[in-house]
Structure formats: structure tokens, C-alpha cells
Structure 1
Amino acid sequence: MTPLGWISVALTSLLVVVTLGAYGYYRSLDSGIPREKIEVGPSRPPETGALNVLLVGSDSRDGNNQRYGATTINAGERTDTIMLLHISPNRDKATMISFPRDTMVQIPSCPGKNGAVLPGRLDLINSAFNEGGINCTIKTLESLTNIKINHFAKVDFTGFKGIVDALGGIEICVPQAVNDPLAKLVLSPGKHVVKGEQALGYVRTRKSLGDGSDLSRIKRQQFFLNQVMKKATDGGLLTDPVKLNAFLQAATKAVTVDQGLTLDRMLEIAESVQGLTQNELSGITVPVEDYPKDKNRVQFSEPAARNFFENVRNDTEVTVAPSPGKSAAPKVERGQVRLQVLNATGESGKALQVAQELAEQGFAVTQVGDAPTTDTTAIRYAKKDAANGPAYAETVAARLSKEKKTPTEGKVRPLKTQPYEAKTAAKAPDDPIIQLVIGKDWPGVRVESVISSSLKDKVVDSKTNPCK
């Protein structure tokens, strides 16, 4: 379990509020953090403006971790926890994406820990780390998701306990009595503040809580991390020098990060995420289903997993600047926009797909259809609507991913269109009609949340009640 995926945020948030004279102290702490280089080759997913941090929990039994399994001493390290912390480009939301360790996936060829090249294969997702280390894990996740991983943080058992103890413990709740000798966890029903071995036992135990599955344990880990975030931001840590020093000392001893996560990079991240609290942190597990060949394994559930990863990729920053020399346009609600969606990509079904995505965001889609193939996506309004058409068109443009398409004045003429039943009715019959022509350069619809409505019941956040 890696609650210190937030370590870069926690450490650097402190740098924002300390004086320049204290900077040397934080630099001395930073110099003690072990670092590894990210080396996964040149073919990597594009940047979107989001910050994606891979969090892994190492179960190495070497050094101070020998007490957790003497039989695996000198056997290297494995990971039972793989999370991707996705912070939106606007730095206003954070999502913990968990990958169950029992997931069967296609692992690409990558160097092994012994230097030999590991062939590509179908295997458990955590075998990428077990056999190829952090770089093989990054390469595997990027190949599966097409999401670029910017940084990583790795924590071990002893480091985890030190961090929780430095925070003064974390409040949890269990719905029933727990007696798990293997996890060293004995608890009565109800709320508890756990530290040390109890905290580690809570995030490690599997058979004694929930339904005994890894998926159930993942939800507890996500809840625990949410509580860590709450304690770090609302528990007075930043204003108590003694607690702060203890936390920083424990944190720097607990983690290994990538070489790119320098002190200056941490400061940059911290400045961008000021104000991000527990309320903006949500946890979700990648949609999975039973693996047909082995009931003890799972696989990505399609198309749900593919759609989820696409949402994460489309969580891109869009800046809409007012036109030069013009006053800010009046605010137009999405439900006021009567929208025609035309497919000019040549790809079958594209108009209907985009129409559904925009309708879910509140637009009054009235028609879908086809248009002659074109390379360029366009947003149009009629000449007769020159007065207010731009404001309506800008409302559509603001929801496109990547670079914003500039609305243009011209003919708005349905081409082979079919009626589309709008779930949101336009507020007035004289609202202008906006025509979206989807070209081959279509950037995608910017998502409202990486977690779609169909996955909302699987979310773990600040409202989650662990007592149930």
C-alpha cells in the first residue's frame, strides 16, 4: 500500500509556505530520497497537461522488512498494490486508479531485473514489477492505457508504518470483529485509530474483511489513502513544527522516486495543487470481470475499461480566451444549445457516439448525420445568428479536448441528418442552431470527470462509509 504517492505533494506543499531560510533544510531532506531513472524507450503516450504518478507498494523482505516473511529474504521485491494517481490538468481533481494484482494483461517485452530481456507475454499485471521492476511496470501500464506516466513513488512496509505513525494514526472503521493473525490485526467492530502494525494489517488483510477478494481490499486501501490526505491537510500538520519534522523525516526514508521528481519539480507541483483536499480525491478500480480460464484471475472488462482510459486521456486542459477587442460573451447554458452533429471522418457511427457524449453533458442535440469527408473539425453558426451565435458556439468549443476549435460564421445546413431525441430541451425556440462537423482531426470531447456515471457506484471518496 502506498499512501506516500502524495509524498511529492505533501513535501512540496510545505515549500510553498516556508521561508527561504528553511529551504536548505528541505533540500537536505530531499538529498536523502533514493531515486531511479525512468527508462521505457522513446515511444510513449503524448502529454495532456495532466499529472500521472504511479504508486507501488514494495513487499521486499530485506533489511527492516525481514519480520514480514523470512522465507522471502533476498528474493527481491514484489508489489501487491498498483495505483495510478491522476491529477487533472487544471489541478482541481485527483483520481486514484487501482489495478487489481490478479489482472491478466499483455505485458510487452522489457529488460528484466537481471539484465536479460523478458519476452512479451500474457501474464498477471504485477509480474511486470516482480520480474522487470518499475520501468517494466511503467511500460506495461502505458501500453495498456495509452496514458503517459510522469513520475513514480515506491514505498515499503517499514516506510508505510513510519509515515502513518508520524501522522498520529489514521481513523478507520470495521463493520465486524477482525482477528487475522497473519496480518497481525485484531479489532472490535466500529471506529479505531490505527498506527504501526495495525495500520499495515488493515491495508494488507484480505480474507478477514469484506468478501475476501482483492477488489474489496483495494477499496479499503483507497479509503485509507483518502484518510491520509485528510489528516495531512486538515490535521494541523503544517502548523506543528514537531509533527511536521517527524512526518518529513519518515517520508524521506520511506520512498523511492524517479530522478525527474526533483525538489524544484516538487515545488512546481505543490504550487499547482494548492487547495486540493480530501474532497477532490476519488478512488476507482479499473473495470474488470472474471478471467474465463481461471476463476482466481480477472481481466479488463470491455468496452468499459477502454472507455474509462479514454476519459482519463481526454481530461485535458482547455483555455478559452475572449476575442480581441470584444467584451466577454454572455454565459450560455449547455441546455440552450441546439446542436447538430455531423460525421465527416468517414468512420461509421462517429456522429452518434459524439452526440451521446455531448448529450450526457447537457447539450440539446437535435440531429445527427453525415457530411462530406474533411480533415478539419468545424463549429458553425448561421449568418443570421451573428449577434449571439458565437457565444453558443463557444460553449461547444469549450468542451473539446486539446486545442480549441474557433467557431466560424457560415451556412448551417443539415446534410443527410436524422432526428436525435434531445434529453435536454433548448430553453427558447429562437436559440441559434450550432453545427458541429467532426473532421479527421477530431480532438475528442473533454470529459467532465474521468469517472463516468456508469462507474459512480464503485467510487471511494470522502463520503464513503467504511462501517457498512
Structure 2
Amino acid sequence: MVLTFVLVVVTLGGYAYYRSIFADIPILPPVEAGSRPPETGALNVLLVGSDSREGDNKKYGAKSQGLGERTDTIMVLHISPDRDKATMISFPRDTMVMIPQCRSRTGTMLAGGLRQINSAFNDGGINCTVRTLESLTNIKINHIVKVDFTGFKGIVDALGGIEICLPKAVNDPKAKLVLSAGKHVVKGEQALGYVRTRYALGDGSDLGRIQRQQVFLTKVLDKITDGGLLTDPAKLNAFLRAGVKAVSLDSELAQPDRMLEIARSVQGLTAKELKGITVPVEAYPADKNRVQLKQPDARNFFEAVRSDVNVTPPSAAAKPKVENGQVRVQVLNGTTELGKAGQVADELADQGFAVVQVGNAAPVATTSIRYAKKDADNGAVYGDAVAARLSKDKRTPVAGKVAPVNPKPYATKVTPLPDGPIVQLVIGADWPGVRVASAIPGSLKDKVVDSTTNPCL
């Protein structure tokens, strides 16, 4: 976010004004000297969200466990050496990593060991956080930005709020967020509550919260660069004043010359060039509430960042898009309801699938989607297209035996018949139903709306 500040500062053209704006920014303690990763020409800015209860933040409660501040948000903004791409890399707070030996907030030495990644900030402050990230990634942190609750609210308010959309009503007393389903422009406490809430939205995980934070920050950057802020002197001044109250910076970044140097190098970046990625993680065996880095994906990911090649981790790579008409489907009735396979086949055919056969199967409790083992390369992708059309939940396609008990031809509406793998849908007693297509006219006629009516679709 500090990089968005310098983007707008360039448009002011007033160096004296610039110096006055940034003169009173709080300075963070320097990182201890020692062995650090080499420079690569990229710009890496560490962003941490602080829950400090000092000053205006006292209303959020007392200090926790005697600590002055903690963090649930750890991100690294990576800008390529040629300054044409930006990646916001998020580290889940629950990730178990090796914390190196570093000094505590009181100056005593903390022993290294396996702990949650956010304990580096909680126990050792910014210095220990930087040392942990650098030892973990071998990526040098060039600059540091810290944002607290009150400062975050001030930034959003100065922008006039940010539009969000809630798929369901939210009532989260811990995050102080109470909103109905649908679209809202959030400011102040509502904006802070939206990026802080965890259990009231999505799957309740920190990974889900990270995704919301990344999207929210992208919308902030978009509103700064494309929302008319740069051409409105009054709004621009209010935003800059709010921005400097929101952040603490490392001593080098707070220098006017360094700020302007960065500003000139990144002034062409917009929200379209900003990509949000979470480091590859997997479940931590010893504690279901924790995660660990997924290897070798994490090592490859960090190497890609250092090398400035495509930084999308393999596990997050986009799957090829499959249209409904490319998928051949067999529908089997594994329930006691007569004619169920034909009914479901009709519903899928109406949505463009190439239904080729219907039949009966032995009664089963659970609905499943299968594809032949010989189609392992792309069977799951085609199966996902069918799974996406199930109401309420989405079944994971699995490789297995694709063989109806008594198949009958189905008069498919798709011609010519596609060549892709055959996907078999076995209807079980828990059959969730087929999501229906909306009757929206015009260019949106193919948009699909869940039968539970998600207002954000």
C-alpha cells in the first residue's frame, strides 16, 4: 500500500509538499546486520498488519498475553526488476516454520525452533519477522511497512469506501461485522471487520481470509489508480494524510529521495498488474489447526520468485477451461426412485452436456463422479465440469471403473459428438440436485445461479 502512496505523490509534482507529508512517519527499528540474501534487482516490501492496542487502538481490547502487538497478516509485495509485474505473496499465520535465533522485543535472545510463523513478529517484532522470512525463502526484504487497525480504517475512509459482496449474511461479534447478504460499500469498522473476520465467511480458515484480504487490497489499488483520486486535489490530499498516519516504515523507505526513486520506477503499474498468491501449504500432521509448507512446491515457488519467472505455484496453476458440450456423460440411477437417471440426464442435456447413455446401478448412499483410469490426464478436469453443476456441494471426480449395469442410448442434443473422456455420474441417495440456469436475457443468459440464490453471482 505504501507503493500506492508514492504513485500518487509523483502526480503532485511538489517536492516541498512531499517532504512535509512524509516528515512525521514513525520509523521501525533496523534489521540486525548479518548474513542476508543477495540483491536480485527486484523490490520486496514486507507488509504486516499489527493489532497494537496503543493510542486509538485501545478500544479493541487489552494487550494479549502482555505483548504490545501481534499480527495475523504477513505479506510480501514482490515487484520484478523491470517493475512491470507485482505479486502480493501471503504467508498464512498458522504455518509451522523454523524460526531462527533472534532478539526478543526486550532485547534478549530467543532460541530458534519450530513455531507458527506469526510468533516471529509476536515475540521478536519486525527484526525477527524479516530474519524468518529471509531464511525461509532466501529472498531479501528491501523495505518494511506496518499498518495498524486505526490506520487501515483511515485509508479506506479517505477513498470513500470499498465495494464488497457477501454471499450470505454475516454476524461476527469478534470482528464487529454485522451485514446482510449482497453488495455493500464498507468503510471504517465495517472495512476492518471484513478483512479480519475468519469464521463467519468462507470455510472459516485463515486461507479463506487471506484471499479476501488480497482481493480487498487489489480493489484499494484499483480505486487509487483508476477511481479519479489522482485528478481530485482535495481527495488526494486527504488520502495522503490518512496514509502517512496509517503506516510505520523502515528508515530507508521513509527518506524522500528513496520514496521518489521507487515512485518513478513503478508509476506504470496498475491493479491489473497486481497478482495475489498464497504460498503453497498443506495440513500439518501434528495439529489439524495448523499448516506447513508443501514441498517441493514451496521451494519451487520461492525459486521462481527469486528468478522472476512465472510465480504461480504448480498446485495453483489454472486448469484448462472445458465447455459443457465437450463432456460426454453417462448417468446411472443408484437410488430406488424410478426414472431418476432419465430426469437428471434431461437436466444436464438442457445445460449443454453430451449425455450419451442412461442406466441403473446398484443402490448407493453417496453420489459420485467417475472417469476411467486411462483418462487420468484430463478426466478429472472433465469431471469437474459436471461436479460444478451439482447443487449445495461439489463432488470430487475419482478414477474408477466406468461401466453401466444396463446402459441405454440417450438422444444427445450435442452434434457432432465430442471426443473427450466419458464421465460417469452415479446418483446416490444423497443426490443434491442439478443447479439450474437462470433466465437472465441477453449476454448473461448463460450465467448460472445456484438454487440457494447467491446475491454475488
Q: TM-score, normalised by structure 2?
A: 0.68
Q: Aligned with 2:317: secondary structure?
A: helix
Structure 2 residue aligned with 1:92: 84
**CA drift at 1:187:** 1.6
On the 8 A contact 1:61/1:72 being kept in 2, the answer is: no
Q: Aligned with 2:77: secondary structure?
A: strand
2:267 maps to which of 262, 274, 291: 274
Write the distance in 2 (CA, Å) between the matches of 1:117 and 1:127.
14
Structure 2 residue aligned with 1:455: 316
Write the distance in 2 (CA, Å) between the matches of 1:237 and 1:128.
37
On the 8 A contact 2:281/2:293 being kept in 1, the answer is: yes
Q: Aligned with 1:46: secondary structure?
A: coil
Where does 1:249-328 land on structure 2 (aligned, <5 Å)? 249-261=241-253, 262-315=255-308
On the 8 A contact 2:156/2:187 being kept in 1, the answer is: yes
**CA drift at 1:241:** 1.1
Q: Aligned with 2:178: secondary structure?
A: strand
Q: Aligned with 1:297: secondary structure?
A: strand
Matched, 1:241 2:102: no
How much identity, in percent, do the aligned residues show? 70
Matched, 1:207 2:199: yes
Which fold has the larger relative contact order, with Cα–Cα distance below 8 Å and residues 6 or more apart in sequence? 1
Q: Aligned with 1:148: secondary structure?
A: coil
Write the distance in 2 (CA, Å) between the matches of 1:131 and 1:193.
36
Structure 2 residue aligned with 1:196: 188
Write the distance in 1 (CA, Å) between the matches of 2:178 and 2:165.
13
The Cα offsets for residues 284-317 of structure 1, whole Å up to 9 and x where unpaired, read as 11111111111111100000001000000111xx
Where does 1:38-437 land on structure 2 (aligned, <5 Å)? 38-70=30-62, 72=64, 75-261=67-253, 262-315=255-308
**CA drift at 1:169:** 0.3
On the 8 A contact 1:102/1:124 being kept in 2, the answer is: yes
Relative to structure 1, the CA distance from residue 188 to residue 237 in structure 2 (aligned partners, 3 Å threshold; closer, same or farther) is: same
Q: List runs of 5+ in structure 1 lacking aligned partners.
A: 1-5, 316-446, 459-464
**CA drift at 1:183:** 1.2
**CA drift at 1:70:** 2.9
On the 8 A contact 2:280/2:313 being kept in 1, the answer is: no
Structure 1 residue identity aligned to 2:164:
I
The higher radius of gyration belongs to 2
Write the distance in 1 (CA, Å) between the matches of 2:216 and 2:11.
26
> How much is the aligned-residue C-alpha RMSD, in angstroms?
1.8
Write the distance in 2 (CA, Å) between the matches of 1:288 and 1:453.
12
**CA drift at 1:25:** 1.5
**CA drift at 1:184:** 1.4
Write the distance in 1 (CA, Å) between the matches of 2:311 and 2:455.
23
Q: Aligned with 1:57: secondary structure?
A: strand
Write the distance in 2 (CA, Å) between the matches of 1:80 and 1:467.
27
**CA drift at 1:74:** 6.2
The Cα offsets for residues 131-185 of structure 1, whole Å up to 9 and x where unpaired, read as 1000100000000000000001001000000010001000111111111122111
Matched, 1:14 2:8: yes
The Cα offsets for residues 414-456 of structure 1, whole Å up to 9 and x where unpaired, read as xxxxxxxxxxxxxxxxxxxxxxxxxxxxxxxxx2x21145423
Structure 1 residue aligned with 2:341: none
Write the distance in 2 (CA, Å) between the matches of 1:40 and 1:66.
30
Write the distance in 1 (CA, Å) between the matches of 2:196 and 2:294.
25
On the 8 A contact 1:12/1:263 being kept in 2, the answer is: no
On the 8 A contact 1:65/1:158 being kept in 2, the answer is: yes
**CA drift at 1:29:** 1.4
Q: Aligned with 1:276: secondary structure?
A: coil
Q: List runs of 5+ in structure 2 lacking aligned partners.
A: 320-453
Structure 2 residue identity aligned to 1:15:
V
Count the aligned residue pairs: 322
Write the distance in 1 (CA, Å) between the matches of 2:456 and 2:296.
32
Write the distance in 1 (CA, Å) between the matches of 2:151 and 2:271.
22
Write the distance in 1 (CA, Å) between the matches of 2:65 and 2:280.
34
On the 8 A contact 1:11/1:266 being kept in 2, the answer is: no
Relative to structure 1, the CA distance from residue 239 to residue 257 in structure 2 (aligned partners, 3 Å threshold; closer, same or farther) is: same
Q: Aligned with 2:52: secondary structure?
A: coil
